[in-house]
């Protein structure tokens, strides 16, 4: 049975992470030809093509498995060095282990970054954040592109463990002027969608018996920009509570009524006994308890999260 030299696997991961062999060479402090030779050597050993040599470079299905192994090794090596009290010095001290995470844009914009900052400082890691819709972040976990994800998927991805974070509540809001127009005709005001996969506004319209195909639609693919578009009067949309509280409080936005949409969020991570991944999940869970509604079926003490 062929083994997988970890130096070669880490080189493949560096190419996938940076997108090119030249960039991987700069990260690894070797020449691009050495990077290319390592990839060819690994492919020869395993008898499979591991890398699609495009721009950006991407792994084949077999290559993705090797990249996953390299990332698992980097995390476990980080944990082992921490347990041994072995510190890096000089240039190595600046090369923190990278933790790729998939997160939904609204969570990144509203509650989770302070938690990640705390872990980055305490654990000596850096984060490679992949922003995606909460309904699709689990796909990146399945593909091995990330080690963990904030997702709306409750069922664990194969090889992963899952824990509830809390519930993000969305309410339909608009400026007072647009809300007045919508009272006369719900289709008279454009809808603001995050992207083509955003179904929140469509769900709200259908719940009120409105043909969701009628209103014009803007697309604003950025959480902060989405909120700003609503405040500016570009259209109406479903805004999460952490973003809507201030403009609702100062009257720049008003509620349109109807039932809110609750989106439960979960933390899924590789089923790997890793102290650093456990620390990330614990810190995110702590912050989620402060900022999100409690998971379904759970009642929180009035002073919880303080």
Tell whether 272 is covered by a domain: no
Please give the span between the terminal C-alpha atoms of the chain, in angstroms, as a whole number.
55
Tell whether 207 is covered by a domain: yes
| 39-48 mean pLDDT | 94
| 70-82 mean pLDDT | 86
Helix (H) or strand (E) holding 86: none
Reported as a single tens digit per residue, the pLDDT across 95-115 is 678 899 999 899 999 999 999
Band of pLDDT at residue 295, cut at 50, 70 and 90? confident
Q: How far is CA 286 from the centre of its chain?
A: 17
Tell whether 234 is covered by a domain: yes
Q: Which domain holds residue 207?
A: 169-262
Which of residues 20, 40, 68 is at a domain's end? Answer: 68
Tell whether 198 is covered by a domain: yes
Which of residues 68, 88, 108 is at a domain's end? Answer: 68
Tell whether 249 is covered by a domain: yes
CATH number for 234 = 3.40.190.10
Q: Which are the contacts of 248, defined by CB distance < 8 A and separation ≥ 6?
A: 173, 254, 255
Tell whether 291 is covered by a domain: no
Tell whether 45 is covered by a domain: yes
Which of residues 229, 245, 262 is at a domain's end? Answer: 262
Query: Coil, strand, or helix at residue 193?
Result: strand
Is pLDDT of 306 > 50?
A: no
Q: How confident is the model at residue 299, as a pLDDT?
A: 46
Reported as a single tens digit per residue, the pLDDT across 188-246 is 999 999 998 899 999 999 999 999 999 999 999 999 999 999 999 999 999 999 999 99
Tell whether 61 is covered by a domain: yes
Q: Are 143 and 62 in contact (CB under 8 A)?
A: no
CB-facing half-sphere around the CA of 170: CA atoms within 13 A = 21
**Between 177 and 78, where is the model more confident?**
177
Burial of 303 (0-12, 13-18, 19+ CB in 10 A): exposed
The reported pTM is: 0.78
Is pLDDT of 133 > 90?
A: no
Is pLDDT of 19 > 90?
A: yes
Give the chain's domain count.
2
β-partners of residue 104 are none
β-partners of residue 248 are none
Give the single-character DSSP code of 132.
-
Nearest residue to 104 via CA among 132, 138, 129, 130 = 132
CATH number for 47 = 1.10.10.10
Q: How confident is the model at residue 304, as a pLDDT?
A: 29
């Amino acid at each position: 049975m062929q083994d997988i030299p970890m130096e070669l696997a880490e080189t493949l991961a560096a190419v996938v992470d940076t997108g090119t062999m030249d960039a991987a060479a700069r990260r690894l402090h070797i020449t691009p030809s050495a990077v290319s030779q390592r990839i060819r050597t690994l492919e020869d050993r395993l008898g499979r093509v591991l890398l699609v040599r495009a721009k950006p470079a991407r792994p084949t299905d077999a290559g993705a498995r090797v990249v996953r192994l390299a990332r698992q090794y980097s995390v476990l090596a980080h944990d082992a060095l921490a347990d041994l009290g072995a510190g890096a010095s000089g240039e190595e001290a600046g090369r923190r282990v990278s933790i790729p995470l998939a997160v939904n844009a609204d969570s990144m914009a509203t509650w989770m970054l302070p938690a990640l900052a705390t872990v980055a400082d305490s654990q000596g890691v850096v984060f490679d954040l992949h922003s995606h819709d909460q309904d699709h972040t689990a796909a990146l976990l399945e593909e091995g592109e990330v080690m963990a994800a904030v997702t709306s998927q409750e069922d664990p991805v194969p090889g992963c463990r899952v824990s509830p974070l809390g519930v993000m509540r969305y309410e339909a809001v608009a400026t007072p002027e647009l809300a007045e127009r919508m009272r006369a005709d719900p289709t008279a005001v454009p809808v603001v969608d995050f992207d083509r996969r955003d179904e929140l506004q469509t769900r709200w319209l259908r719940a009120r018996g409105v043909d969701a195909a009628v209103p014009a639609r803007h697309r604003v693919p950025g959480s902060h920009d989405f909120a700003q578009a609503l405040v500016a009067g570009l259209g109406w949309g479903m805004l999460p509570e952490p973003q809507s509280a201030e403009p609702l409080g100062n009257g720049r936005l008003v509620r349109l009524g109807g039932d809110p949409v609750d989106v439960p969020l979960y933390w899924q991570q590789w089923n790997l006994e890793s102290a650093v991944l456990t620390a990330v999940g614990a810190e995110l869970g702590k912050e989620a308890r402060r900022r999100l509604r409690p998971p379904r079926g759970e009642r929180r003490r009035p002073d919880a999260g303080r």
